[in-house]
Structure 1
Amino acid sequence: MKKSIVSCVVTALVSAGIAGIGSAPAGAAPVSTYEQAASAPPQVDPELRNRVAGGGRVRVNVVTETRKEMPDAARSGRVLQTLSRLPVVTLSVDEAALERLTGLPGVVSVTEDRPVPPVLAQSVSLIGGDRTREAGMTGAGSVVAVLDTGVAVNHPFLRGRVVAEACFSPADPDYSASSLCPGGTDQQEGAGAADAESGPCADAALDCDHGTHVAGIVAGNGQNLAGAPAAGVAPAAELVAIQVFSKFESEDFCGPGAAPCVLSFTSAQLAGLDKVLQLKEAGTPVVAANLSLGGGRYTAPCDDDPRKQAIDDLLEAGVATVVAAGNDGFGDAVNAPACVSSAVTVGSTTVQDEVSGFSNRGPLLDVFAPGTAVVSSMPGGGWAPMSGTSMAAPHVTGAFAVLRQAFPGKTAAELEAAMKTTGRAIAYPGATTPRLQLDDAALGAGPGPEPAPAPTYDNWTSRAIPDPGVVESSIVVEGILGNAPANLEVYADVHHSWRGDLKIDLIAPDGRTYPLRAPAAGDDDDFIHENYRVNASSSPANGTWRLRVQDVKRNDTGNIFGWMLTVPQLTNWTRYDIPDRGTAESSIVVGGIPGNAPVNVKVYVDVHHSWRGDVKVDLIGPNGRVYPVLAPSPKDSEDIIHETYTVNAGSSPASGTWRLRVEDVAAGDTGYLDGWMLTL
C-alpha cells in the first residue's frame, strides 16, 4: 500500500473508528488501537494495593498497548485467561507482581477482575425504566435508528420490530476493506440488508454482535422469553437497522493480531444519517439515531466535523443523534463524532452511580447512563454482557422514544433538556454531569433539589519546578465546617522531563504533610496525571492547602501544570419501598479509610412519601451506633425529602458498612427511599 494512502486512512479511522476499546466496537474492551497512551503511566485501581498487601492475591485484567507486550505482562502473574485478539490478559497477582506491572513498559491499565451481576433489568431499573414501563410509557409510536454492525432481526428479543433496513459498507482494496452487506454490494436496502446473521457478518469471528446488543438495550422485549432480560428501555418502539461497518483484513488498520476486524468509514456514517433523514421526511416517526462509534480525542466542540451538518439536519427534523463518548478514560475529552455540539453525548456509569473507569467524560458530555456489564441480545438468539459507552448511549436513545410518547408536542431539544434537568448529578474532577433518571423525566416528578456536587477547588496557574529544587502551588478552601474529609482526593497534573526525580506532598492549612508520591529512579516518563486519596481528617478543612513538588536530582526540568482538591461522595441510588408502619434500610460500604469518621459527616437523603411527617431517619455507623438524622413531624404533609444533614459520627470507624434507616411511624401512608449520599 502506498504510504500516502496509509496515512490518510489512519487519519480517517481515528475520526471514524468504533467507540470501543481496541479495534472492536465500543463496549468490547479498554484499549484504542489508533490513539494509544504510549507515554502515559498505567492506570491502576487504587484499592488493588490494599487488596494484595500482607500476602494477598487478586484477579486483575491487564491491558497493554498492543499484543506484543502481552507475553511480558503475562509473566508477572499466574495466567487465568487470554483473549484471541484484544491486548488483555487476566492474571492472579500478589504484591510483587502488581508492582512489576505498574512499572512495565506498554501496560495501559491494571484493574480488578471484579465479579458483578450482569443484568439488563438492573441497568433499566436504575434509570427508572421499570416505572415508566409500568406506567405504560414503552416508546410505542416511535422509531429509533441504530447505525452499527447490523441487527439480528429475527432475535426473539427484537423479532417483528425492525421496520426498515439499509447497509452502507464501502469496499476498497487499497484499504483491505470489503463489504458486509449480505448481497455483497457497497450499498443495499430493504429486508435483510442489515441482518447481522446474514452475509459476511454471519462469521462470528467478525464480532458483528455489537449492533444487536445495542438494539436490545434500546428496545428489547423479553416478555415470555425464558432467561431473557425483562426489557430494554423502550420495549414497544420500532427499529431502523443500518449497517455502517466494513470488514478490514489488514493489521495496519485492525492492529497487531486483530485482523480481520470491522471498522466504519465516515462516509458510511454520513450515508446512514442521510437515510434516517429520508425516512423521517417520508413519514417514519424516527425520534433518535444511535451511533455507538467514534475515535480521536477532543476537548472542544469539533463543529468542523463532516457529520455536523447531517446531525443538525436531523435535529431540525426532530431526530436526536445520540453518540457514545468513547472508552479511552479521558477525564476532559470525548471521541468524534461525540464532540459535535449538536449531538447528545453519553458517558457510562456503574450501577453504584460511579463513573465507569473506561468512560470518556468532561465538559462536552451531556448525560451519563449505565454502561458497565449490561446484558442484552446477541446473534444466535442468546444473551451476553458488554461494557462501554456503547452500552450507555442506547439507554438514552430508548429514553427519547419513551419521552416522545410522554410529551408528543415537545422538540428533541426539549426532550434532551428534560433528561438533563431531572438527572442525578454525578460529580467528578472538572465537571458535574447528570445521569439519566427516566422516570422523573417522563412521569412528571420533576427535578427535586439535587445535592450539591462534590466541592472542588483548583489552581491551574503553571509553576516552574527548579532543577533541583522545590515549588509550591496553593488553593484556598472556604465554607467547609470542621476538619477535612477522611478521603480527600488530590488530582495532580505535573509535566517533567524525568518524572522519577519528583517528590510530591500535600501540605494542609495546619502545616501537616501528607506524602503523595516518592521519587522513582527508573521512571523516565514525562508527565503525571494522577488522583491521590488522602485521609486528611486530622487537619482543618478551611484554609490554604499547598501542593509541594520537589525535584531531587539535576538535569531535568518541568512545571506544575495544575492541581485540584475534591471532597468525594459515596452513594446508593437503589430504590427501597418503605412499608406503612415499617422500615427500609440502604447501605453504603466504605473502605480504605483508617481511624474514625469525621465529626462533620454529610448525609443527603432523597425520600418520597405521601406524608413525610411520618418519616424518621437514622444513620447507623459500622459499629452499630445510631445517629438521628430526622425526627417525625406529624403536621408536615409534604411528600418529598431532598435534604443534606450534618452528623457528628466521630464515635464510629470510617470504614465498614454504613446504613440509612428510614422508618414510617404512623399508619395510612407509604413511600420509598429513592437514594442517599454519604460524604466523610
Structure 2
Amino acid sequence: MNRVFRTALAAASVPAALASSIMLLPLSAQAAPAGAQPAQPVTERPFERLIVGYKSSSLEASSDDAAASDTRGKAARVGKDLKLDRRLSTGAAVVDLGGKNTKDQAARTIEEFRADPKVAYVEPDLMMQPLAAPDDTDYAKQWDLFEATAGMNVPDAWASTTGTGVTVAVIDTGYVAHSDLAGNIVSGYDFVADSSRARDGNGRDNNPADEGDWVKRGECGTDLAGQPVPAKDTDSSWHGTHVAGTIAASTNNTKGIAGIAYNAKIQPIRVLAKCGGATSDIADAITWASGGTVSGVPANPTPAKVINMSLGGKSSCSSTYQNAINSAVGRGTTVVVAAGNSNDDVANYTPASCGNVVSVAASSREGNRTWYSNYGAKVDVAAPGGETRRATDTPGTITTPENGILSTLNAGATTPGAENYKPYQGTSMAAPHIAGLAALLLGKDKTLSPATVEQLIKDNARPLPGTCTGGCGAGLADAAKTVAAVGGTTPPPAGTFSNAEDVAIPDRGAAVTSSITVTGRTGNAPSALKVAVDIKHTYRGDLVVDLLAPDGTVYPLKASSSGDSAANVLATYTVNASTEVANGEWKLRVRDVAAYDTGKIDSWSLTF
C-alpha cells in the first residue's frame, strides 16, 4: 500500500477567510510492508547472605577465625544459624544466613552487625537480574526505540516510568481493533460531522471506530492545475491505529511490538475520514480531548494529558486552531503535532506552525532529517520517522522497509480486515514518539505543565548524528535523559567518569583510595576539572580528602576540621589540573584522622 499524503489545496488557493475550512490529512509520507527487553524495575528478591566489611583496625578484618567467631556470637544473640562463608576480593566477609531471607526477615541480623563498632558496613548479598529486552516478537525491528546511532533511547527510561495513569488522545482516523492495543484503549469519540465522509451514516457519535479512509481517483476534487485529487485510487491507511501503537502498544505480551509509554491509555478520536478532516471537527476534538466543553457532545470522562496530531495542511496557523490549542494547554494538556512531509519550512503548515505545540520533524535510521520532513525555526525537536524510500528512488518503490517505523495496522484494503504490523514513514510516525515521551514524563510526575514537558524534551535532546538542513529544533529527542531530568536527576554529562564502589574508611587508620581510569580523552585535563564526591560518614570533620592525578600529583580537596560535626561529604570541587594528562588512573584518597566515627566512599566522579 504505497501512499503519499498531500494536501488537496495549495497555499495560494486558500484565502484568509477560508483558512478554517482546510481539509487536513494524515502525515505519513509513505506506507510499506515490513520491530534489548524494557529495563524492568528490579523488585526485592529473597537473599541468603550478608556482606560484612570490618574496619581494617579490627582482627576480624584479617583473621577468618576471628570473623567466624564473631559470626557465631551474633548468631546466638539473634537466634539464627549464621556462619562465615568466605572472603571477597575486597576483604569483606560473606556471612551465610542459613536460608533465604527478605530484607525485613534479616533486619535483626543486619542491625546486630551494624551496631558493632568493629563493622564499617553491612549489606544484603542481593541477587541481580538481567535487564532483558521486551519479549514482544517484533521488538528487534524497532530500531527507533533502542539503536545507539539514531534511536530514541527508550528502554533506559522504562526503569523509571512506563506512562501509568496518563491518557494520550490520538486525534486521527480513529481506531481499528487490534489485540496489541485493545488493553490500553479508553472511550473516545467520532467528531466527523459529515456523515457521507464518515461512512458510518450518522455523523458525530461516541464510536471512534476507523471506517476506512480509502478514496477513488478524483473523488476529493481537483488541485489548482485541475488535476484529480487523489491522483490515483488509494487504500485505507488505518493511520490512527499505527500512531497509537507507537505510543502505547502492549508490551511484554509475547507478541508484536513494544509501545513507548506502554502503560499509558490511548483515547482514539476520529477526525480524519474520506478526503481528510475539517478544521471545525479537529478544533472541537482538541477541546473535548483536553476536558473542555463541546456543544452536543457528552463530557469526556477521561481527559487526556497529551494530544497527538499527526495531521496537517498547507496554511498559516488559523485563529480556530490557535484558540483551541491555547485552551487545551491552559487545561494542562501537552499538544504534539507532526511538522509535515513537504520538505518545506514548517511555518507554512498548520497546525505544526501554531504556538503552544511541540512541532516534530522526522529523522532517519542514519540520524539525518528525512528527505520529506519539514524543517525550520518553528520545529521544536526531531524524532524517528523512518525512511522506507529516498527522494531519489522511483515513486512508489519500497527500498528499505526495515528503516521505517513498525507499528500496529490492519490488512483491509478498504474496510477492516485482519490485524497486522507494517512500517510507515512520515512525520506522522515521529510525532507519536514525542507524545509517548511526554506520557513517560507525566507518568513520573503528573504535576508537570505542558511548558515544562516541552522544555524538558528540548533541553535533553542530543545533536542529530547526521545532518539537518534548515533546522530540526533542539535535535533528536532522548527518552532516558529526559526522564532522568524529571526531579533533577539529570544523568552525568558527556566526559564524566564515575566510580560507585563502596570503600570502607577506617577510623584513625591508613588512607583508603578509590580509582577511576580515564580513557579516550585527548590532551590535558581542563583548568576547571570537576570532582564530585559522595562520602557517607558520621563526622565529616575527621576526614581529609585529596585527588591524586595519574602522575601522583596531589590536589587537596578537603582538610580536617574538628568543629565540623555534620555527617557526610556531598560536594563538587573544582581543580586546576591543566598540567595533567587526562588519560590514566585518577584516585580519590580519604583518611580519617580521629577515632570512633565511621563511613565509606560511596561514589565519586570526574567531569572533564
Offset, 1:334:
5.1
Aligned position for 2:265: 238
Partners of 2:180 and 2:327 in 1: CA distance: 31
Aligned position for 2:203: 186
The alignment partner of 1:357 has SS state of: coil
Partners of 1:224 and 1:663 in 2: CA distance: 46
Backbone CA RMSD of aligned residues: 4.5
Offset, 1:162:
1.2
Q: Does 1:435 align with 2:481?
A: no
Letter in 2 for 1:141: G
Q: Does 1:218 align with 2:236?
A: no
Q: Once the two structures are superposed, what CA deviation does each residue of 1:206-230 show, in whole Å capped at 9, x if it has no partner?
A: 323211110001111232333x22x
The alignment partner of 1:314 has SS state of: helix
Q: Does 1:365 align with 2:379?
A: yes
Q: Does 1:616 align with 2:505?
A: no
Partners of 2:212 and 2:26 in 1: CA distance: 24
Greater CA drift, 361-370 or 268-277: 268-277
Aligned position for 1:165: 188
Offset, 1:389:
0.7
Q: Flag the 1:341–1:211 CA change in 2: closer, same or farther, 3 A.
A: same
Contact 2:484 2:490 in 1 (8 A): no
Q: Flag the 1:209–1:425 CA change in 2: closer, same or farther, 3 A.
A: same
Q: Flag the 1:348–1:413 CA change in 2: closer, same or farther, 3 A.
A: same
Q: Flag the 1:285–1:17 CA change in 2: closer, same or farther, 3 A.
A: closer
Aligned position for 2:230: none
Q: Flag the 1:616–1:219 CA change in 2: closer, same or farther, 3 A.
A: same
Aligned position for 2:311: 293
| Structure 2 counterparts to residues 23-62 of structure 1, below 5 A | 25-26=28-29, 28=31
| Structure 2 counterparts to residues 130-169 of structure 1, below 5 A | 130-135=155-160, 137-152=161-176, 154-169=177-192
Contact 2:333 2:450 in 1 (8 A): yes
Partners of 1:28 and 1:305 in 2: CA distance: 32
Partners of 1:275 and 1:141 in 2: CA distance: 19
Contact 1:19 1:295 in 2 (8 A): no
Q: Once the two structures are superposed, what CA deviation does each residue of 1:253-310 show, in whole Å capped at 9, x if it has no partner?
A: xxxxxxxxxx111122122113213479755251111110112165xxx3x4311111
Aligned position for 2:326: 312
Partners of 1:407 and 1:220 in 2: CA distance: 21
Letter in 2 for 1:424: R
Query: More strand per residue: 1 or 2?
Result: 1
Q: Flag the 1:244–1:170 CA change in 2: closer, same or farther, 3 A.
A: same
Offset, 1:9:
11
Partners of 1:639 and 1:234 in 2: CA distance: 35
The alignment partner of 1:342 has SS state of: coil
Letter in 2 for 1:434: G
Partners of 1:167 and 1:390 in 2: CA distance: 20
Offset, 1:118:
10
Contact 1:144 1:289 in 2 (8 A): yes
Letter in 1 for 2:405: V
Q: Structure 1, unaligned stretches of length 5 or more? A: 30-116, 173-177, 249-262, 451-604, 619-626, 641-661, 672-680
Contact 2:291 2:304 in 1 (8 A): no
Partners of 1:356 and 1:242 in 2: CA distance: 28
Q: Once the two structures are superposed, what CA deviation does each residue of 1:523-547 show, in whole Å capped at 9, x if it has no partner?
A: xxxxxxxxxxxxxxxxxxxxxxxxx
Offset, 1:359:
1.1
Letter in 2 for 1:291: M
Q: Flag the 1:122–1:365 CA change in 2: closer, same or farther, 3 A.
A: same
Partners of 1:120 and 1:629 in 2: CA distance: 42
Q: Flag the 1:309–1:200 CA change in 2: closer, same or farther, 3 A.
A: closer
Aligned position for 2:145: 124
Work out which of the residue numbers 269, 275, 294 in structure 1 matches 2:288.
275
Contact 1:617 1:628 in 2 (8 A): no
Offset, 1:133:
1.4
Aligned position for 1:511: none
Offset, 1:171:
3.0
Offset, 1:163:
0.9
Partners of 1:387 and 1:200 in 2: CA distance: 18
Q: Flag the 1:331–1:269 CA change in 2: closer, same or farther, 3 A.
A: closer
Partners of 2:372 and 2:212 in 1: CA distance: 32
Question: Which structure's CA Rg is the greater one?
Answer: 2
Partners of 1:384 and 1:617 in 2: CA distance: 41
Contact 1:16 1:336 in 2 (8 A): no
Q: Flag the 1:171–1:297 CA change in 2: closer, same or farther, 3 A.
A: closer
Aligned position for 1:39: none
Contact 1:118 1:385 in 2 (8 A): no
Q: Flag the 1:201–1:356 CA change in 2: closer, same or farther, 3 A.
A: closer
Aligned position for 1:378: 409
Q: Structure 2, unaligned stretches of length 5 or more? A: 1-8, 33-137, 217-232, 294-298, 387-403, 411-417, 501-514, 527-547, 558-569, 573-582, 588-600
Partners of 1:216 and 1:436 in 2: CA distance: 19
Q: Flag the 1:331–1:337 CA change in 2: closer, same or farther, 3 A.
A: closer
Offset, 1:185:
1.4
Contact 2:290 2:305 in 1 (8 A): no
Partners of 2:518 and 2:187 in 1: CA distance: 52
Partners of 1:218 and 1:276 in 2: CA distance: 16
Letter in 2 for 1:273: I
Q: Flag the 1:265–1:448 CA change in 2: closer, same or farther, 3 A.
A: same
Q: Once the two structures are superposed, what CA deviation does each residue of 1:487-545 show, in whole Å capped at 9, x if it has no partner?
A: xxxxxxxxxxxxxxxxxxxxxxxxxxxxxxxxxxxxxxxxxxxxxxxxxxxxxxxxxxx
Offset, 1:629:
9.2
Letter in 1 for 2:334: A
Partners of 2:584 and 2:430 in 1: CA distance: 35
Q: Flag the 1:194–1:245 CA change in 2: closer, same or farther, 3 A.
A: same
Aligned position for 2:120: none
User: Size of the alignment, in residue pairs?
Assistant: 366
Letter in 1 for 2:201: G
Partners of 2:22 and 2:288 in 1: CA distance: 21
Offset, 1:168:
2.1
Partners of 1:149 and 1:357 in 2: CA distance: 25
Q: Flag the 1:335–1:633 CA change in 2: closer, same or farther, 3 A.
A: farther
